[in-house]
Amino acid sequence: MSPRSYARRVADLVVQRFELGFQWPTIDPFLFCVHHDDAYPPANDSFGPDVSLAERDLGQDFEGIDGWRMYHGHDVPGFPPHPHRGFETVTYVRQGLVDHADSLGAQARFGRGDVQWLTAGSGIVHSEMFPLLDPDDDNPLELFQIWLNLPAEDKLADPYFAILWDADIPRRVVTGADGTRAEITVIAGALDHLVPPSPPPSSWASHPDTEVAIWHLHLDGGASLVLPPCRGEATVRTLYAFEGGDVHIGDEPLGAGTGAVVRSDAELEVSADEPAEVLVLQGRPISQPVTQHGPFVMNDDAGIEQAIADYRATGFGGWPWRSEEPVHGHNPSRFARRPDGALEDAP
């Protein structure tokens, strides 16, 4: 193909553009995506920041004062126990550590490239706290929190807890003739011979024809890589240029801090003049009605009313932990304790 004909082909690769705020726009089957990037200060003895919290609206601290947030935590940053029903959470942690606990009896400390994939299904209560462990230096935390919908037939599936360890998540590095590097991390959705760990059994991503993918691209300045076309015509592919400089989709620029829905039926060359990072979310839409009330995502108002009634009646198993902000000690080692008590250390 000549350069001129290729340019004509890629001129319409970008279907829609949007700016990235705190919560990023998402498209079915995705419900929600937030990039948490907090420059936490040194730690105190209680795993929280060793500074005054007097100016913060504790319990609802989302302002980003001094470059970090307590979120819903009062002593430890993070999200104390809260319920979910009807969807999944995927938490991809790039820096720092997250301490998980839930109503199934599971616990985990994960981070530094690990992913937690949690099917809320019929109902679960969990907490995600961000313990600060270093009293002598800053404690940066960076993660993506992604919500993936469940189809009606799986909204009341059994809850399922999974950890995808960093060492088990496949990556590919493409090195250009000039030595520039482009790396792709494959969290979900096989890419050529790169096959990530399996998603939970009731996930929309567990069906190969849904083409659900979560990929993270890291590009040196001058580097590029090519994403293959999707198989299904209905599959939606969205790119988020969240860090670094502008990127190019074919010949079309995509500014830093910008997202784009792109054609999924065409080969896609992604390149950068300066170092840049991109998150890719892709999947075939579930194409069912969505009704959301806070932490519950169902198909109609009746489903929401039932979720509220069930949570009031059962607490989705209750909260088996003594603390409302549970953390797992000073040892930085990552681990997962399954609901059946089986203990697994990060490889």
pLDDT (average), residues 231-260: 94
Q: How many CB atoms lie within 10 A of CB 51?
A: 12
Rg of the chain in Å (alpha carbons): 21
158 CB burial (10 A radius; 0-12, 13-18, 19+): middle
Q: How confident is the model at residue 322 (pLDDT cuts 50, 70, 90)?
A: very high
Amino acid present at 236: V
Q: Is the per-residue pLDDT at 171 higher than 70? A: yes
Q: Residue 206 above 70 pLDDT?
A: yes
Contact 264, 229 (CB under 8 A): yes
3-state helix, strand, coil in the chain (%, to 5): 10, 45, 45
* Chain centroid offset of residue 346 CA: 19
> What is the mean pLDDT of the segment spanning 11-28?
90
What average pLDDT score do residues 229-254 get?
Answer: 94
| Sequence-distant (≥ 6) Cβ neighbours of residue 146 within 8 angstroms | 30, 32, 33, 89, 90, 91, 92, 214, 281
- Which tokens belong to 99? 């301490």
| Terminal-to-terminal C-alpha distance of the chain | 45
Q: Mind spelling out the 3-state secondary structure of the chain?
A: CCHHHHHHHHCCCEEEEEECCCECCCCCCEEEEEEEEEEECCECCCCCECCCCCCCCCCCECCCHHHCCCECCCCCCEEEEEEEECEEEEEEEEECEEEEEECCCCEEEEECCCEEEEECCCCEEEEEECCCCCCCCCEEEEEEEEEEECCHHHCCCCCEEEEECHHHCCEEEEECCCCCEEEEEEEECCECCECCCCCCCCCHHHCHHHCCEEEEEEECCCCEEEECCCCCCCCEEEEEEEEECCEEECCEEECCCEEEEECCCCCEEEEECCCEEEEEEEECCCCCCCEEECCEEECCHHHHHHHHHHHHHHHHHCCCCCCCCCCCCCCCCCEEECCCCCEEECC
Name the average pLDDT for the chain.
Answer: 94
Determine the average pLDDT of the residues in 21-48. 97
Percentage of residues in the chain having pLDDT higher than 90: 93
Q: How many helices (H) and strands (E) does the chain have?
A: 2, 24
Indicate if the pLDDT at residue 283 is higher than 90.
yes
pLDDT of residue 12: 80
User: Among all chains, which residue has been given the structure tokens 């979720």?
Assistant: 307
How do residues 95-141 score in pLDDT, each as one tens digit? 999 999 999 999 999 999 999 999 999 999 999 999 999 999 999 99
Instruction: Output the pTM of the full model.
Output: 0.94
